[in-house]
Amino acid sequence: MTVTTIPTAGIADTAVSTAKIADNAVTVSKADFNNVNFKNLIINGDMSIAQRGASFSFNDSSGFTVDRFHFERTSGATGDCTITQESDAPNNTGLVKSVKIAVDTAETPTGGGNICFQQKIEGFNCATLEHGQSSPPSATLTFWVKSNKTGTYSVQIKGEGSTGRYVLFDYTISSANTWEKKTITWVGDTSVALDYDSSRRLRVIWHLASGPDDKVSPTSSWATSSLFQVSTNQVNFFDNTSNEIYITGVQLEVGTSASDFEFLPVDVNERRCFRYFQDYASFKLWTTALDGNTSTRLGGSMAYNTRMRATPSVSKTNNTGTVDSETITDRGYSVFGEKSNRGTTTNVTDLEFDAEL
Amino acid sequence: MINTVEKKYNEDSTFNYEVNYQDGTAWTVPHDTANRHYQEILEWVSEGNTITDKGGS
């Protein structure tokens, strides 16, 4: 007898084993894994794009490092350190670059002083987290970390909707100077939505040191606070100038488990960074004031590589002449020379456009 | 941290802000609440500091 139809109820739970499934039998549409392009809500998680340079010194200051990643210290901490992009990454992962934070001056933060490394995510990229809805999905953060200073550190996920919300997790660096992969999973926040806009709506924060004021117990349930919140178990990474920590392979994705790191082509990865920062080092934007006619000057204008998140700030070097007017939009930039400088030229160079969060 | 802020007018009466930071960096900042440097200007002003305004030409 030929059986053409087997009732579903007739298949035992263990009847179809993996070995019995042909290699090409399961199509992508049937696969039960997170096979979504651009699943990583973190941009430049492999630390490979570094438009601002590869070495950054901080002394009583905060600022951006490799693209999209920001170092911050608050009042009560000086955060004197050097942050570098390194060619040191965990083996057999495909990762090539990492960020190293090396302490330059030992300190113990006081009061509400915090020192942390973070990425800020805009609301447009948070929609799949479904915060504020009745049953938001889980999210999973994965990263690789290495440090000579072992112990307990904390990661804060900070929602910045109408009310500040957070979850806070401990993770442990167990073996000195050894790459370790950390995975943290939590359920989305049902209470406070993350607005769908271009503003800062979520932060992933790796705490490094903190004063006593902001220390709380870790929690996987969303709690209310608009402040940095640091685990009471957090080590003081800044207690010795020999301390250094490496981080790379950062991925934040929807789901209850970590999938492989999503590698993007370098041009795609770079273009994603361009939404927030664009560097045109050595590029010269010329303007010319025509001799004999002050009313028919030439100006210089340029369109960005990609539309920026917001109207950016501009940093530039004005090599000759005088800049009279600048028009800045999220799509391009134009500059005009001073009208009294007839017969001269003006150029601005080393242009940087910053629309970071 | 911000050192000085000066309002700079364009020929079409629009304007930007020239911001000098204590670390020696300088930025031309648009009047846009979504811009992080402009947000820093607002905070700097709320702390009692004053934007230099020499008017347009």
In a domain, A23, yes or no: no
In this structure, the answer to whether residues A79 and A169 fall within a common structural domain is yes
CATH number at A82 reads 2.60.120.260
Nearest-5° Cα angle at A50, A49 to A53: 165
In a domain, A13, yes or no: no
Domain of A139 in residue numbering reads as 28-273
| Residue A12 burial (CB count, 10 A) | 7
In a domain, A18, yes or no: no
Which residues in chain B touch residue A356, judged by CB atoms under 8 angstroms apart?
36
B:14-33 residues touching chain A, CB 8 A cutoff:
14, 16, 19, 23, 25-30, 32
| Domain finish residue from A255, A273, A291 | A273
- Nearest-by-CA chain B residue for A313: B29
Structural domains of chain A, count: 2
B32, A310: Cβ pair inside 8 Å?
yes
In this structure, the answer to whether residues A183 and A132 fall within a common structural domain is yes
Which among A310, A326, A356 is the nearest to B10, CB-wise? Answer: A326
Which residues in chain A touch residue B16, judged by CB atoms under 8 angstroms apart?
326, 328
Residue B48 DSSP one-character state: T
- pLDDT value at A341 more than 90: no
In this structure, the answer to whether residues A256 and A282 fall within a common structural domain is no
pLDDT score of A290: 54
In this structure, the answer to whether residues A166 and A282 fall within a common structural domain is no
B11 touching A (Cβ < 8 Å): yes
Cα A173 to Cα A91, A147, A180, A246, A299: the distances in Å are 18, 7, 7, 11, 56
| Domain finish residue from A226, A247, A273 | A273
A314 touching B (Cβ < 8 Å): yes
In a domain, A191, yes or no: yes
In this structure, the answer to whether residues A198 and A65 fall within a common structural domain is yes
| Domain finish residue from A251, A273, A295 | A273
Suggest the residue from B6, B12, B16, B25 to mutate for an interface test with chain A (most A CBs closer than 10 A): B16
In this structure, the answer to whether residues A222 and A185 fall within a common structural domain is yes
Global pTM value: 0.90
Structure tokens at A337: 């020379």
pLDDT digits (tens, 9 = 90+) for A83-127: 999 999 999 999 999 999 999 999 999 999 999 999 999 999 999
- 3-state DSSP assignment of residue B10: coil
C-alpha A216/C-alpha A111 separation (Å) is 13
A309 touching B (Cβ < 8 Å): yes
A325, B11: Cβ pair inside 8 Å?
yes
Residue A269, CB half-sphere, CA atoms under 13 Å: how many? 19
In this structure, the answer to whether residues A110 and A244 fall within a common structural domain is yes
In this structure, the answer to whether residues A307 and A339 fall within a common structural domain is yes
Which among A313, A316, A327 is the nearest to B37, CB-wise? Answer: A313
Please give the single-letter amino acid code of residue A177: N
pLDDT score of A183: 98
Structure tokens at B10: 């364009």
pLDDT digits (tens, 9 = 90+) for A142-181: 999 999 999 999 999 999 989 999 999 999 999 999 999 9
Structure tokens at A329: 């939009």
pLDDT score of A7: 77
pLDDT digits (tens, 9 = 90+) for B1-57: 999 999 999 988 899 999 999 989 999 999 999 999 999 999 999 999 999 999 886
B46 touching A (Cβ < 8 Å): no
